[in-house]
Amino acid sequence: MQLSLGLLVASLVTSIGAQSTFSPARPPAIPLAVRSPYLSTWLDAGSDGGNGGYLAGQWPVFWQNQVTGWAGMIRVDGNVYTWMGLPDTKTVNQVAYEYTSTKSIFTMHVDNKLEMNITFLSPITPEDFKRQSLVFSYLNVEVSSLDGQDHDVQVYADISAEWVSGDRNAVAEWDYGTTDGVAYHKVYRQTQLAFSEKNEQGEWGYWYWATDASSGMTHQSGSAGDVRSEFSNNGKLANQGDTNFRAIQNDWPVFGFSSDLGSVGSSPASTLFSLGLTQDQAAQYEGAQSYGPVPSLWKSYFDTELAALAFFHHDYSESTIFATEFDEKVARDSIATAGQDYLTITSLSARQAFGATQLCGTQEKTYLFLKEISSDGNMNTVDVVFPAYPIFLYSNPALLRLVLDPLFENQEAGKYPNDYSMHDMGSSYPNATGHSDGSDEKMPLEECGDMLIMTLAYSQKSGDTDYLKLHYNLLKKWTSYLVADSLYPANQISTDDFAGSLANQTNLALKGMIGIQAMAVIANKTGHRDDAANFTSIAHDYITQWQELAIAKDASPPHTTLSYGDTNSHGLLYNLFADAQLGLGLVPQSVYQMQSNFYPTVANKYGVPLDTRHAYTKSDWECFAAAIASVDTRNMFLKDLATWINETPTNRPLTDLYDTESGNYPQNTFVARPVMGGSFAPLLVRS
Ligand SMILES: *[C@@H]1O[C@H](CO)[C@@H](O)[C@H](O)[C@H]1NC(C)=O
Ligand SMILES: *[C@@H]1O[C@H](CO)[C@@H](O)[C@H](O)[C@H]1NC(C)=O
Ligand SMILES: *[C@@H]1O[C@H](CO)[C@@H](O)[C@H](O)[C@H]1NC(C)=O
Ligand SMILES: *[C@@H]1O[C@H](CO)[C@@H](O)[C@H](O)[C@H]1NC(C)=O
Ligand SMILES: *[C@@H]1O[C@H](CO)[C@@H](O)[C@H](O)[C@H]1NC(C)=O
């Protein structure tokens, strides 16, 4: 029963202290440092397993759920409190939590003496690749007096070696230094395992944990107990390094900084920390050339990792301005499109979507590599890029090109044998091996349609027609596949592979037909008039037949079916979004209107089920369906989803697959997936 769960949380929280507000929602997990597949640390905020969203009192975790030790303490007039993680002291009182697209901001009270604003900023700069290429995140702690008195304040924070490997028996090594006014702990796996993962964490590269090398700063590495008690007892650290390099879990080495802010009154004093990962080479790639390593993109902007670190750390004010601009753009556009419920969804999705990607290559030849986080770790999966494409198209269409480029390059070099589109660039991120044996997961109709739609979407938004010319032959080959298979799709899986395979899938057929019409437009734009005429005539013929095959006309209200002829079935017709987004006008308005009228009749508490086979839904596809619905139906989708965010018992990074009645996971636990970039779909088809 809902009530008892709520009461349990309330009493738990009251025993800790006053309750925090959560604005605009209490998400299932709070993004702390979320910038790439390997810099992805969150705070479980669910009521079931997490502590309900309090920064102090539980450890931050990697998206896969193992602890990435990150602790914060503050000393006020000699009394010590914890503000992050689980050191053994009293905790501060969290009074508020707020998120924007790039920031998580906690407001804490320390015994009604001091206020703390703790800001986790994971920048998103879609058009500024120099900044976007840095796999770094900020933590800023700002304090001021609450009671009008001056207080003696020291701020402490550390990370553990858990950040450097998913194997707690791996031996860590570390070093301390300063560069350009920045003090840093450098921590890394002693035995580097290039391009390898353990428990989804990256096993190579160097982690930097840094702060200002100011006069009040002290530092120390050593066992968690030693370093933290040094601070608790003395309000400063010993400026010493532990040189007994050892396993991560062997007496847990931590890397601490303390900052003496001195006497703090009503004007705020602050301490800034930066945390990030440098990997000279970030991926391996089978493109037109033979398989080989690809550098991280930041390498083409900075000569050394210390230069990159120093730039990032000193860039906080500037970076905050850019981040706030991005936050405000998303807020303005989301509110104008569909109001606050909608912004609750988009602003929570932004870091998650970008956090599954990394810019790689050089300034001359850049790639955006994307990890299919949590479902299988595939790289640049076509039908995972597709649900995410709205956020790329919205924020900078060039990003969509950079994520598609590897797929084109590999297949145009003749490295994929099938006559349909490849499913992904490689089974295990960060190895973009391609699939020269053609035995990738077979989703032929889905992927051909996706590639055609996304290629045209990029070209329309950017004005880049050459891209269509460059890839014309391959696009045309995929269209032939669609012509052969999309009127009566063979028994196959769609992107929703967990739901099983089926013949004659209505929504999949529609994607194919939209793909063919997209090709007609591509042909027209590139001077291939005969192809344009041929494909548009086929697409229109198919869509006329599709309306006979796929609509339960006599149902009340009428609706499309899950598969042809199964008049008792239904499903989210999310592929219709592409017809509107690309402005194709292929599908009659009556179909849009019919679906809009139908969805509210089958909505559950937290949304409309994906289809009649199960009670679960996909949040990305709900946003696609919402984007093209009537105002009322759209608002229903978005309100249900925002309510779910607030109430779900899940407590891991935003899932895109949940039960529409319980709000919980169904059989699959999808978390932190980039597909939530699909929440930006309604921004692309404003009516
Ligand atoms: C915290 O942020 C709020 C809102 O921006 C501001 O009014 C307050 O002064 C800040 N407090 C501190 C300690 O910086
Ligand atoms: C990537 O390939 C390398 C060999 O080049 C291998 O050591 C590594 O384990 C692979 N990574 C993953 C995630 O499978
Ligand atoms: C139209 O396209 C289909 C599929 O590629 C092809 O089989 C057919 O020959 C084309 N027709 C014309 C007139 O070009
Ligand atoms: C697909 O639908 C058509 C038309 O209803 C039907 O003739 C055909 O048998 C169906 N295919 C499969 C594999 O069920
Ligand atoms: C192709 O372009 C012509 C001229 O702009 C236009 O009349 C026609 O409708 C276009 N066809 C398609 C399929 O876009």
pLDDT at residue 388 in the model:
98
Residues 395 and 255 in one domain: no
- Token duo for residue 561: 């079916």
Residues 263 and 344 in one domain: no
Longest dimension (CA), the chain: 81
**Side-chain-facing half-sphere of 38: CA atoms under 13 Å:** 30
Whether residue 548 is predicted with pLDDT greater than 50 in this model: the reply is: yes
pLDDT (tens digit, 9 = 90+) per residue, 487-534? 999 999 999 999 999 999 999 999 999 999 999 999 999 999 999 999
pLDDT (tens digit, 9 = 90+) per residue, 291-307? 999 999 999 999 999 99
Q: The CATH number of the domain where 410 resides is what? A: 1.50.10.10
Q: For the chain, give percent helix, strand, coil, nearest 5.
A: 35, 25, 35
Whether residue 10 is predicted with pLDDT greater than 50 in this model: the reply is: no
Does any ligand 1 atom lie closer than 6 A to the CB of residue 324? no
pLDDT (tens digit, 9 = 90+) per residue, 347-381? 999 999 999 999 999 999 999 999 999 999 999 99
Does any ligand 4 atom lie closer than 6 A to the CB of residue 233? no
CA distance 570 to 557: 12
Gap from CA of 116 to ligand 1 centroid (Å): 8
Residue 298 falls inside a structural domain: no
Residue 64 falls inside a structural domain: yes
Residues 206 and 350 in one domain: no
Residues 344 and 237 in one domain: no
- Token duo for residue 80: 């010590």
Residues 342 and 272 in one domain: no
> Which atom of ligand 3 lies at the shortest distance from residue 531's CA?
14
Query: Among residues 466, 464, 451, which one has the least CA distance to residue 406?
Result: 451
Pairing of strands 366-370, 21-23: unpaired
Round the average pLDDT of the chain to a whole number and report it. 96
DSSP-based three-state secondary structure for 675: helix
Question: What is the pLDDT averaged over residues 199-203?
Answer: 98
- pLDDT-derived band of residue 51, with 50, 70 and 90 as boundaries? confident
- Looking at the structure of the chain, the number of domains it has is 2
135 lies in which domain range? 15-279
Residue 391 falls inside a structural domain: yes
Residue 289 falls inside a structural domain: no
Site residues for ligand 5, CB cut-off 6 Å: 520-521, 524, 532, 536
- Among protein residues, the one with the nearest Cα to ligand 4's atom 12 is 503
pLDDT at residue 1 in the model:
30
Residue 8 falls inside a structural domain: no
Does any ligand 4 atom lie closer than 6 A to the CB of residue 169? no
Query: Among residues 457, 446, 456, which one has the least CA distance to residue 481?
Result: 446
Gap from CA of 294 to ligand 2 centroid (Å): 14
pLDDT (tens digit, 9 = 90+) per residue, 574-601? 999 999 999 999 999 999 999 999 999 9
Residue 2 falls inside a structural domain: no
pLDDT (tens digit, 9 = 90+) per residue, 626-664? 999 999 999 999 999 999 999 999 999 999 999 999 999
Q: Among residues 279, 300, 318, which one ends one of the domains?
A: 279
Does any ligand 1 atom lie closer than 6 A to the CB of residue 268? yes
Question: What is the pLDDT averaged over residues 201-218?
Answer: 98
Query: Among residues 323, 303, 326, which one has the least CA distance to residue 315?
Result: 323
Q: The CATH number of the domain where 160 resides is what? A: 2.70.98
Look at the block and give the residue holding tokens 């946003």: 623
- pLDDT-derived band of residue 18, with 50, 70 and 90 as boundaries? low
Whether residue 3 is predicted with pLDDT greater than 90 in this model: the reply is: no
Question: Cα 654–660–665 angle (5° rounding)?
Answer: 45
Does any ligand 1 atom lie closer than 6 A to the CB of residue 144? yes
| Amino acid at site 115 | E
Q: Among residues 279, 300, 325, which one ends one of the domains?
A: 279
Residues 575 and 429 in one domain: yes
Residues 67 and 215 in one domain: yes
Of the listed ranges 37-51, 69-83, 255-269, 541-555, the one predicted with least confidence:
37-51
Does any ligand 1 atom lie closer than 6 A to the CB of residue 142? yes
Residues 348 and 256 in one domain: no
| Amino acid at site 554 | D
- Among protein residues, the one with the nearest Cα to ligand 1's atom 8 is 117
Residues 274 and 422 in one domain: no
Residues 38 and 142 in one domain: yes
- Token duo for residue 83: 């503000």
Q: Among residues 279, 302, 324, which one ends one of the domains?
A: 279
Residues 272 and 367 in one domain: no
Residue 328 falls inside a structural domain: no
Residues 95 and 241 in one domain: yes
Residue 255 falls inside a structural domain: yes
Gap from CA of 501 to ligand 5 centroid (Å): 37
pLDDT at residue 259 in the model:
98
What's this model's pTM, rounded to 2 decimal places? 0.96
